[in-house]
Structure 1
């Protein structure tokens, strides 16, 4: 049954635990033989002219960052799994201009570029609350990239949008979220996700690289099996002053981050400890509501849900 999406603000808080929107190949583990990530590609098409007399095809001389003739391709610099997605700029030697790269999600896994892109269909009952992902960014200049999520109804009307600016050197993975901004009520039918290497008004530089992994549109994709033997244990799930964590499987330098439902980190601690020890976080200053505790070390990443009284 269809639900009226975005109509009541409370639904935005409840929805992640009722339904789960999966991003098609959001982990980028599905890679085609030409080393392009399935369901992701660039919109750029190289123009060519055919001489009617000779039949010879000529066009601008385009230089790409890597040997692959694309600005979107699989990367082995993954945060988790084997692959991530890399987006880079190209250079047009004929016009002496930088071509900003853009990765766009689309529904056909066999295509290398979206062409006409109607978006990725989503179930009408789907919860799409935010845009989140891990990323590295290597700007060759003062580049500002932009990540965007748009949700549309069946008639092509925008229901909501989330965007994130990406700038500055990040040579280790950063985890970011942006909540969706509601623009109108309606029933979701399609979503678009894109990573643009040049936000409007910025100047792209050849050599700039963006690596993205683990793209999500709500928190439920982060939640792990609470009963897994090697999973961290968090209690109580209804906390008043303190939250207790037994970091099963985690050790050495462990990062604990508490994230609210808007995707903002409201508390963070980094400690060195062994997996058998219990760690306690003071949550007394948090406002009442739903939160997510993200636990990371060099090889593990887990997120648990809890409620602050």
Structure 2
């Protein structure tokens, strides 16, 4: 008598918490002894048949791109540092069917894969506004890969997401980012990041490669560094009609530079204000188009970035 079983194969991949983002091992510098990035991986179910009389096990023959029996592994072609993460497809030789590789982030570095619980927590007061990364894409066919980030509240309700399609041949690193589209004002509690080698509805090709490095989820996606000073810098309102009222707090100095940056990372308005005492500075934003923007305030005591919405 033959009985069918599923053998759980865990392919590890991507990211520990870094200062520029809530992404565990987003620079892929932490790797396992199997040469796989820590905190990233794929849950792959492979059907296996066991003859209960003989104990013989049979299953489909799976071919991987490299000698590592995984679809997610370390790359020695980093954008920076020593390592990046590479994802590829596998081939079910028995069924002549391509299996698309997927790299999911997960929080427990002691595990060899995400299992049924991918995702990482978002720290309290951490600003998660953008989704950005470097990539190289070498398709063997007309493949379309996809990167997706989802943000959830404490009740596991999705409150925001960003999706990026990856296509065309990119032998050199390309940088890409997208703002996260929030549909709720609930507090973000955890997020899921996944890189899939096949966008839904597309056909993967065996031999296609995707290399990812330096994944970030906040202002670093725009090339901006945020120095989180104590929460005394503030402004109001965050949903703006015509003016923003700014309270400099710990940024007070001889002068403060205020910049308004759009979602593409361009500075569209900038003022430098002399300061000799506490004050509320009013900035006119009536000419801005509707959408999300970032207010960056800089002085010799530090720099702070916050976001707002123009009605």
Aligned to 1:96: 96
2:96 and 2:220 map into 1 onto residues whose CA distance is 46
Query: In structure 2, do the counterparts of structure 1 residues 122 and 136 end up closer, same or farther at CA, with 3 Å as the change threshold?
Result: same
2:157 and 2:258 map into 1 onto residues whose CA distance is 41
Unmatched 5+ stretches in structure 2: 1-18, 228-254, 268-286, 297-304, 306-311
Structure with the largest fraction of strand: 2
Aligned to 1:126: 126
* Bigger Cα displacement from structure 2, 110-119 vs 208-217: 110-119
- Residue 182 of structure 1: CA displacement? 1.1
1:196 and 1:225 map into 2 onto residues whose CA distance is 30
TM-score normalised by L of structure 1: 0.68
1:83 and 1:119 map into 2 onto residues whose CA distance is 22
Aligned to 2:45: 45
Measured against aligned partners, the alpha-carbon deviations of 1:103-158 in whole angstroms (never above 9, x if no partner) come to 00001112222111152111232211111000000000000000001011121100
Judge conservation of contact 2:104–2:119 (CA < 8 Å) in 1: no
Q: After superposition, where does 1:1-309 map in structure 2 within 5 Å?
A: 21-220=21-220, 222-223=223-224, 238=257, 260-262=261-263, 264=264, 290=294
2:23 and 2:191 map into 1 onto residues whose CA distance is 9
Q: CA RMSD in A?
A: 2.9
Which consecutive segments of 4 or more residues in structure 1 shift more than 3 A? 220-226, 236-240, 286-292
Q: Name the SS of the counterpart of 2:67 in structure 1.
A: coil
TM-score normalised by L of structure 2: 0.67
Query: In structure 2, do the counterparts of structure 1 residues 54 and 260 end up closer, same or farther at CA, with 3 Å as the change threshold?
Result: farther
Query: In structure 2, do the counterparts of structure 1 residues 201 and 105 end up closer, same or farther at CA, with 3 Å as the change threshold?
Result: same
Q: How many residues align?
A: 230
Measured against aligned partners, the alpha-carbon deviations of 1:272-293 in whole angstroms (never above 9, x if no partner) come to xxxxxxxxxxxxxx9797589x
Unmatched 5+ stretches in structure 1: 1-18, 227-235, 241-258, 268-285, 293-304
1:102 and 1:225 map into 2 onto residues whose CA distance is 31
1:266 and 1:223 map into 2 onto residues whose CA distance is 11
Query: In structure 2, do the counterparts of structure 1 residues 239 and 150 end up closer, same or farther at CA, with 3 Å as the change threshold?
Result: closer
Judge conservation of contact 2:85–2:212 (CA < 8 Å) in 1: yes
Which structure has the bigger radius of gyration? 2
- Residue 42 of structure 1: CA displacement? 1.1
2:258 and 2:118 map into 1 onto residues whose CA distance is 44
